[in-house]
Chains A and B, each alone.
Chain A
């Protein structure tokens, strides 16, 4: 009897599991999707995780509220938490002292310094922070990501600082921030020196991760030994100064003058080149228009408008990638070790480098105004065979020029016979009215764009250059009629040939040329069918002619459509 009962219970249990299981299994898809971590905006919080030391964390990371602490410890000042060196300059790391970077020591260092202080406060029965694990290591903070946007000390800031400091101390003294490290000097205390005209970006020496040339590496190695990463160095440099003046100002009862809070500098807002164009660039007695002429180089020299390019870029580093020396000091005709074996030709012409002329110009060419045409034009690369060699002469003129700019192009001189005002395209005329192609208007637009940009204006030497944007692949040299570029139809056949797939047929040649350009130039007009095609009244509704008979028979036949068509 009770055996029956057992079976009954067992059966019920199985039944329950089956139902529950089926339910779970049918909803499994919901669990397949991963959940993304909540991104919080860092208002002066600091996430303490040190995964580089601990790897996978046993307890959740700690979210540290810096403001609270700095408020609470106003009187005691920063030194209570941060170490200070012999010149009484604060090093902004925490905990004060970490003998060696292994899990145990780092953990203890943190725990000691935090908890001791908290304990002390509470013993002095002041408002004190937590002392229990879970109060700092909060489960809810587990997946929070606190990331400060990098701060960009652009020319505007630089200019401000120069002016402000000048009126403070009467003369401009770059040594307040800038310094170089004398690698020969034995005594480290004296090694840090300042000499006029050697001011450079902090990054050169303090960006530890980056690979450097021989002489800089020696210096960066020292910086690395002191753990002066760009992050630490700049915090030390800026904050020490800021805090000093901060105190003064506050004594004077002014509102705060210079930022000391994380979120004041790390705003995540960046100025564009255009916005910074007016700002004067730091003068370091650089030439305005140097004439670059390499000794016994094959090509003629190039006049380089350094002043213009200064305003065209955000930092010096975007060209002077290693030091503020001129290119040829490291890159010569054959390439020498300090130039990392890169010869001067490549230094200027490497299309894939951010620091070379070509590289930067190519980036410009792929901006929306230019890319419409330039998407089809092979990049001007000395390695590439495709590029037109006569283009070299545009830069390599060999004469020391005055203002580097051409007279603006104009459509005035164009012969209206040769250059049609409007072209009507008749492919697809069965379905649509022939579409009107505003040929001249387009040229005018292109001319305008070309004239507005200094770069374009300089390189597009005549209006024919612009024609090649659409009338591409026309071998100018071999053409009988020079100034009449070929029609599309001359190369692109109407028929579709499955044997020659790289030959675009006319229909798609038109669409890809027009649409491609309009898309790349992100023009709103001319992206929709109706912008070019007007549907023909009474035109055929069918766009194909021949059918697959037997399939049609299957699909259309009466008896197969029995009772319930979908």
Chain B
């Protein structure tokens, strides 16, 4: 961590005035310079993460060479979807939900209070899509065909998956545009920055619409598994549940991520942001609490609606209750109390609980409560290689995140010229 601090310090000085990029040539030079790691490399984080990542990449090669089956993954004919879809894609996207929620709050509702964290969150969302959703390339069996739904090698417009695919694609663009001013500032492209800035609101609104649809769309994928998902989890309203849960999932992750980056990138953050930060977190906590309150009662109503109450008195029933109470109701109240007495540690813990809960919830749909009646011998359980690859993907995302934060004005103030423009 010390390394990061060192690193960041000198950047701040150097970045006072943006780089002057006249020709393509010196853009390359600039990029070369930026790509070089700055400051101390041998930080504990790097030392732990690097080998895992490398191992993961090796396994990825294995997967491409030998196909999906054993030894790389434990997927079977009964369980076509495992950790990669269940965690990387479905859960990852839910966590990226913070992006569109904050955009809604800041750009649509104009709650300026949350402005300081918007860039970090959007960047986070964008990278989440890029990496987690990118993990789908590994999971789909015939990955070289991935562009088919885009280029129209017959459009399966009847399919939910078709919508999800397109929305992924489009939302990445939207997120990129939302974030692009930062990049422009980094490159010191003033005019471009202005144009991109003008695009933001449009991108935001488009992005929110898309998110609404594919957050719920991910749920809709499971609709046709009616006979396989346990009746406690299967309802006709899975999409809505997914959408609502993505709100507090995203915000919880934002809180979590914020708390970490405030430790790591501390020096980059200016005073007023530091001051306002607690207030922001408390605000987020309140929003989480409210949505979770709603979500909980949605669950309750659906339980009655689907005539699923009798199932509660069974193993699966207890598992369900544990998920709904332990990971929705409890954190909900922790958020409340945390928000009341401005107690960040409570809020953070609640956020962590929520995150775990969301992971469980999504995995329930993909392989825990899915085909729940098959004997243990046929059940799916992530293979070590799967886990390592997943881990390496997450770590890569963190690395990318760090790299960008260290070089671009994500947490720190935008360069003077960018602000001057506005007045």
Contact = CB atoms under 8 A, between A and B. Distances in A.
B375 A25 contact: no
A248 B66 CA distance: 91
B353 A28 contact: no
B349 A27 contact: no
Interface stretch (A16-24, A104-112, A307-315, A452-460): A16-24
A29 B375 contact: yes
Given A14-B356, A22-B368, A29-B374, A563 B322 contact: no
A25 B372 contact: yes
B67 A14 contact: no
A28 B373 contact: yes
Contacts of B297: none
A7 B345 contact: yes
B65 A24 contact: no
B65 A563 contact: yes
Contact of B360 (A18, A29, A31): A18
A3 B345 contact: yes
Nearest to B373: A29
B399 interface: no
A32 interface: yes
Interface in A1-56: 3-4, 7, 10-11, 14, 17-18, 21-22, 24-32
A40 to B, nearest CB: 30
Contacts of B65: 563
B316 A28 contact: yes
Contacts of A25: 315-316, 319, 368-369, 372
B166 interface: no
A17 B322 contact: yes
Nearest to B371: A29
Interface string B297-320: 000000000000000001110110
B315 A24 contact: yes
A418 interface: no
A4 B319 CA distance: 27
B311 to A, nearest CB: 11
A564 interface: yes
A26 B379 contact: yes
A30 B381 CA distance: 18
Interface string B52-65: 00000000000001
Contact of B315 (A4, A31, A564): A31
A10 B346 CA distance: 12
A28 to B, nearest CB: 5
B326 interface: yes
**Most chain A CB within a 10 A radius of its CB, from B315, B369, B373:** B315
B109 interface: no
A369 to B, nearest CB: 45
B376 interface: yes
A14 B66 contact: no
B318 A21 contact: yes
A29 B314 CA distance: 12
A188 B423 CA distance: 119
Given A3-B345, A14-B353, A28 B66 contact: no
Given A3-B345, A14-B353, A22-B368, A29 B376 contact: yes
A27 B316 CA distance: 10
A20 B314 CA distance: 15
B66 A564 contact: yes
Contacts of A3: 345-346
B375 A21 contact: no
Q: Which of A3, A7, A25 is most buried by chain B, counting CB atoms within 10 A of its CB?
A: A25
A26 B364 CA distance: 11
B83 to A, nearest CB: 14
A530 B21 CA distance: 87
B372 A28 contact: yes
Interface string B365-385: 000110011111001010000
Contact of A7 (B67, B318, B349): B349
A24 B373 CA distance: 12
Contacts of A30: 375-376
A25 B323 CA distance: 13
B342 to A, nearest CB: 14
A564 to B, nearest CB: 6
Nearest to B372: A28
B353 A26 contact: no
B268 to A, nearest CB: 27
Contacts of A7: 345, 349
Interface string A197-214: 000000000000000000
A452 B374 CA distance: 55
Given A3-B345, A14-B353, A563-B66, A26 B360 contact: no
B326 A28 contact: no
Nearest to A3: B345
A17 B353 CA distance: 13
A333 to B, nearest CB: 58
Given A17-B326, A21-B318, A31-B315, A26 B376 contact: yes
Nearest to B377: A29
A37 B230 CA distance: 28
A18 B319 CA distance: 9
Given A21-B322, A563-B66, A28 B315 contact: yes
Nearest to A566: B69
Contacts of B368: 22, 25
Contacts of A11: 349
Contacts of A18: 356, 360
Nearest to A6: B349
Given A7-B345, A28-B373, A564 B67 contact: yes
Contacts of A22: 368
Interface in B333-391: 345-346, 349, 353, 356, 360, 368-369, 372-376, 379, 381
A14 B360 CA distance: 12
Contacts of A31: 314-315
Contacts of B322: 17, 21
B113 to A, nearest CB: 27
A24 B66 contact: no
Given A7-B345, A7-B349, A563-B65, A14 B372 contact: no
Nearest to B352: A11
A14 B369 CA distance: 19
B67 A24 contact: no
Contacts of A14: 326, 353, 356
Contacts of B315: 24-25, 27-28, 31
A3 to B, nearest CB: 6
Nearest to B369: A25
A7 B372 CA distance: 32
Contacts of B66: 563-564
A394 to B, nearest CB: 57
A24 B319 contact: yes
A392 B232 CA distance: 65
Interface in B12-54: none
Nearest to B65: A563
A29 B356 CA distance: 25
Nearest to A13: B326
Contacts of B318: 21, 24
Nearest to A28: B315
Nearest to A27: B376
Q: Which among A3, A11, A14, A31 has the highest number of chain B CB atoms within 10 Å? A: A14
Given A17-B322, A24-B315, 15 more contacts: A10-B349, A11-B349, A17-B326, A18-B356, A21-B318, A24-B318, A25-B315, A25-B316, A25-B369, A28-B315, A29-B373, A29-B374, A29-B375, A31-B314, A563-B65
| Those 6 A-B pairs whose CB atoms lie nearest each other, nearest first | A29-B375, A28-B315, A24-B315, A25-B319, A7-B349, A21-B319
Interface of A: 3-4, 7, 10-11, 14, 17-18, 21-22, 24-32, 563-564
14 contacts: A3-B346, A4-B345, A7-B349, A14-B356, A17-B322, A21-B318, A25-B368, A26-B379, A27-B315, A28-B316, A29-B376, A30-B375, A563-B65, A563-B66
Interface of B: 65-67, 314-316, 318-319, 322, 326, 345-346, 349, 353, 356, 360, 368-369, 372-376, 379, 381
